[in-house]
Structure 1
Amino acid sequence: MDPKVTEGGLNVTLTIRLLMHGKEVGSIIGKKGETVKKMREESGARINISEGNCPERIVTITGPTDAIFKAFAMIAFKFEEDIDNSMSNSTATSKPPVTLRLVVPASQCGSLIGKGGSKIKEIRESTGAQVQVAGDMLPNSTERAVTISGMPDAIIQCVKQICVVMLESPPKGATIPYRPKPASAPVIFAGGQAYTIQGQYAIPHPDQLTKLHQLAMQHTPFTPLGQTTPGFPGLDANPPASTHELTIPNDLIGCIIGRQGSKINEIRQMSGAQIKIANAAEGSTERQITITGSPANISLAQYLINARLTSEVSGMGTL
């Protein structure tokens, strides 16, 4: 093995692809793109982020090996900073590791694992990072996800070793790259009306209303209880206000409230419901949320709260 490759001094241009959740991508881009601009300038690597309204995005890092290692170091330390910030709002005591997911052509995964798992074991032991190669290929591609987790320094050493393997064992045959699918706009039902969620707004959805409403009636996920009004009430209809209560685990309440209450205010504005979050009861691991408003407002608020919880839980990168 050429020692210069390990040191990252060999001027070989390499492309590494990362799979990230929307929340992670937002952290890398930063306000007005300032964070990613700084990463590009300081590392010398090209960093491209796939377009699209997708729950997952591909971040492509291209450049000489030393530039790639610098870019990875900056990403790993940024994620650690995000974890530290989230810990300050949380009661959790154990700090979760930084997790990155590489997207690697399946034809190179055999070299990465090694005979009987010898190579991957060597990488784990020498770097202290956890490395897992997914057994299945990513949908509609010939690539697999390789998940690395640990402290930033361990991740950087691990990426260096993976780069060496990828340089020594180029992909065989054609690679069909993984392209995350766009998220279809969710349709919800409230007060007999169908809405699609577009960005931060719920838009009345008239086109397939009858068909979708019939479908909703079959499983009634958001149909308000006790509503007997037939047909579709107009937007000026004022059904009586009612109240709904939810309990949310303490360690997830932060993602509902947001920084300085930004998220909960957004949910209040979008849903039109009044939302109150009770103070934590002593010794309790849960918080009570009370939603007041019309059945339509309550349904919409519930949906938005659940969407926040889902994105938070799936954004933790656990496998």
Structure 2
Amino acid sequence: MEPSKVQSEGGLNVTLTIRLLMHGKEVGSIIGKKGETVKKMREESGARINISEGNCPERIVTITGPTDAIFKAFAMIAYKFEEDIINSMSNSPATSKPPVTLRLVVPASQCGSLIGKGGSKIKEMRESTGAQVQVAGDMLPNSTERAVTISGTPEAIIQCVKQICVVMLESPPKGATIPYRPKPASTPVIFSGGQAYTIQGQYAIPHPDLYCPSNPQQLTKLHQLAMQQTPFTPLGQTTPAFPGLDASPPASTHELTIPNDLIGCIIGRQGTKINEIRQMSGAQIKIANAMEGSSERQITITGTPANISLAQYLINARLTSEVTGMGTL
């Protein structure tokens, strides 16, 4: 963030670089069909907008230009995200509109100035803009940068970004900054019935080369989680199930009960999560209606043993992330 001064008629006008951290879905929204949205943003704002390459769940979007161009680009991104929120709500019963959220990536050496003595600066920013601002306590992996999350209405976010830019210009980073680079997506692997599956898009694909008991180092945390979370023994079935083969074992049924207050995280808004689990596992999943006086709901999973194990694992993973507070991700 080495600001090079640009002569301007009054006011703040220097060249700045701001980095944003986005999920793949958000990046897709910014790029638009055939890159039309980002092209329009570049043309109308006059800012340079670069998006990091790679098959990563997270991408870095870099916005460079004179401050007024940056603010225009930011405004366009914030309004685009708001439009996405409105579109996703148009067919949902939710009445309150969730705020727009943007994540900036800021050198840790500048975060102290953003927070201010005893939190005074960040408090002032929150109060004067109406946006929520949070500076992450830890640095992003393998970098000296922290995530700064801003959420609120697009107008509040734009005001907040303006104030953050002023602070960053007044106190440049100290020392070398190691920029955060998102890691490529390591394909999650799920074990079921002696068979390894990788998730590709919406589907679980059998993966023949991955399961190697003689090399336990290959088991990542996720694999271990999968091993712990699928204690399912197929009923009278000892052969591993390979979906797609004619000799696939007959369908069986498995039932589990889930507390009422956690059922929402499995169903998702308008059934999005449960449909995802159905598609990925290939199993049929029925959720019984709430029984009067009961604090639990019955879930019936039907399919091959492999489908059932996979569905169970995905349901368990949702529950785990909800209970550990990661359900928002």
How far residue 161 of structure 1 moved from its aligned partner, in angstroms, is 0.8
Residue 228 of structure 2, aligned match among 218, 232, 238: 218
SS of the residue 2:40 aligns to: helix
Preserved contact between residue 193 and residue 241 of structure 2 (Cα < 8 Å):
no
- Offset at 1:196? 1.8
Number of residue pairs the alignment of both structures matches: 319
Q: Tell me, what secondary structure is at the counterpart of 1:171?
A: coil
* Post-superposition CA distance 1:89-122 (Å, at most 9, x none): 3333332211111110011112212222222222
Distance 1:276 1:143, change over 3 A: same
Work out the CA distance in 1 between the residues paired with 2:219 and 2:324.
Answer: 30
- Cα distance change of structure 1 residues 230 and 48 upon mapping to structure 2, 3 Å threshold: closer
CA contact 1:18–1:100 (8 Å) conserved in 2: yes
1:241-265 CA deviation, whole Å, 9 max, x = no partner? 1234678999999999999999988
Moved more, 172-181 or 34-43: 34-43
Deviation larger for 37-46 or 143-152:
37-46
Moved more, 40-49 or 59-68: 40-49
Shift of 1:297: 2.5
Q: Residues 264-312 of structure 1: CA distance to partner in whole angstroms, max 9, x if unpaired?
A: 8886666444456789999999998754321123334555677899999
Q: Mean Cα displacement is larger for which, 11-20 or 158-167?
A: 11-20
- Residues 242 and 248 in structure 2, CA contact (< 8 A), matched pair in contact too: no
Change (3 A) 1:161 1:247: farther
Stretch of structure 1 that moved more, 180-189 or 89-98: 89-98
2: CA distance between counterparts of 1:211 and 1:104?
Answer: 29
CA separation of 1:233 and 1:88: change in aligned 2, threshold 3 A: closer
Q: Give percent identity, aligned residues only.
A: 94
Greater relative CO, 1 or 2 (CA 8 Å, sep 6+): 1
Structure 2 SS opposite 1:135? coil
Contact (CA 8 Å) 2:230, 2:309: kept in 1 or not?
no
SS at match of 1:73: helix
CA 1:221–1:171: 2 relative to 1, 3 Å: farther
**Offset from partner CA, 1:148-174 (integer Å, 9 cap, x none):** 111110110000111111112111110
Q: How far, CA to CA, are the matches of 1:215 and 1:71 in structure 2? A: 41
The offset of 1:239, in angstroms, is 1.4
Q: 1:237 aligns with which of 247, 252, 264?
A: 247
Given that residues 191 and 227 in structure 2 are in contact (C-alpha distance below 8 angstroms), is that contact kept between their aligned partners in structure 1?
no
Distance 1:262 1:114, change over 3 A: closer
- Decide whether the 8 Å contact of 1:9 with 1:65 is kept in 2: no
Equivalent residue number for residue 179 of structure 1: 181
Between 32-41 and 309-318, the greater mean CA deviation after superposition: 309-318
Task: Report the more deviating stretch, 125-134 or 225-234.
Answer: 225-234
Q: Would the alpha carbon gap of residues 195 and 42 (structure 1) be closer, same or farther in structure 2, given more than 3 Å must change?
A: same
SS of equivalent residue, structure 1 residue 269:
helix
Alpha carbons of structure 1 residues 310 and 217: separation in structure 2 relative to 1, 3 Å = closer
Give the Cα–Cα distance (whole angstroms) in 2 for the partners of residues 255 and 34 of structure 1. Answer: 35
TM-score normalised per structure 1: 0.76
Q: Does the CA contact (< 8 Å) of 2:190 and 2:223 recur in 1?
A: no
Q: Structure 1 residues 137, 257: closer, same or farther in 2, change over 3 A?
A: closer
Tell me if the contact between 2:21 and 2:61 (Cα under 8 Å) persists in the aligned partners: yes
- Taking a change above 3 Å as real, the CA distance of residues 194 and 145 of structure 1, as seen in their structure-2 partners, is same
Q: Deviation at 1:220? A: 3.2
Secondary structure in 2 matching 1:316: coil
Q: Tell me, which stretches of 5 or more residues in structure 2 are unaligned? A: 210-217
Q: Is the 8 A contact 1:90 1:251 kept in 2?
A: no
> For the Cα contact (< 8 Å) 1:194–1:213, is it kept in 2?
no
- Rate the CA distance shift 1:232–1:86 in 2: closer, same or farther, 3 A: closer
Q: Please give the root-mean-square deviation of Cα atoms over the aligned residues, in Å.
A: 5.1
1:211-262 per-residue CA deviation (whole Å, 9 max, x = no partner) reads 9999966663566566444898994432121234678999999999999999
Change (3 A) 1:288 1:68: farther
Change in CA separation of 1:315 and 1:33 when aligned onto 2, cut-off 3 Å? farther
Q: Is the 8 A contact 2:45 2:72 kept in 1?
A: yes
Relative distance call for 1:317 and 1:270 in structure 2 (3 A) is: closer
Call closer, same or farther: CA 1:205–1:125 in 2, change over 3 Å. same
Contact kept, 8 Å, 2:281 with 2:310, in 1: the verdict is: yes
Question: Mean alpha-carbon deviation: is it higher for 235-244 or for 307-316?
Answer: 307-316
Say whether the 8 Å CA contact 2:252–2:302 is kept in structure 1: yes
Mapped contact 2:18–2:63 kept (Cα < 8 A): yes
Q: Which moved more, 1:81-90 or 1:134-143?
A: 81-90
Instruction: Show the counterpart of 1:144.
Output: 146
Residue 7 of structure 1 aligns to a residue whose secondary structure is coil
Q: Which stretch shows the higher mean deviation, 304-313 or 86-95? A: 304-313
Q: 1:232 to 1:288 in 2, by over 3 A?
A: closer
Is 1:20–1:101's contact at 8 Å kept on the other side of the alignment? yes
| Partners of 1:192 and 1:233 within 8 A in 2 | no
Whether the 8 Å contact between 1:255 and 1:309 is mirrored in structure 2 is: yes
